[in-house]
Structure 1
């Protein structure tokens, strides 16, 4: 949380990358949230587009996890 004065001095938000600045509007980051499936789009209509986008983001997350694991070995 960096919206208040003094946040930077406390080290809050260090390393955070703003997704809206990324070309795809998404950056695979660990937000320390428990992963879960909260929405499962159907493979038809507009939801098919959502399904493809969610799959793409999942693949980006998996690649980041793989790179972090390799880096820590």
Structure 2
């Protein structure tokens, strides 16, 4: 499962991860098959979400932990 698909499972959650999931869904340039932090971080910075980078990095780490557990 991709990070994008995993994240969409949280789209209806009333927490920051849910807000991010909704933002990602609306972002037509989001890399849907991203599988590493460096590529995801590059995209985050390119769309001016730098202030959210720590929260997004935490979500990506949760994804990796679940995906490779």
TM-score by length of 1: 0.35
The structure with more radius of gyration: 1
Higher relative contact order (CA 8 A, sep 6+): 2
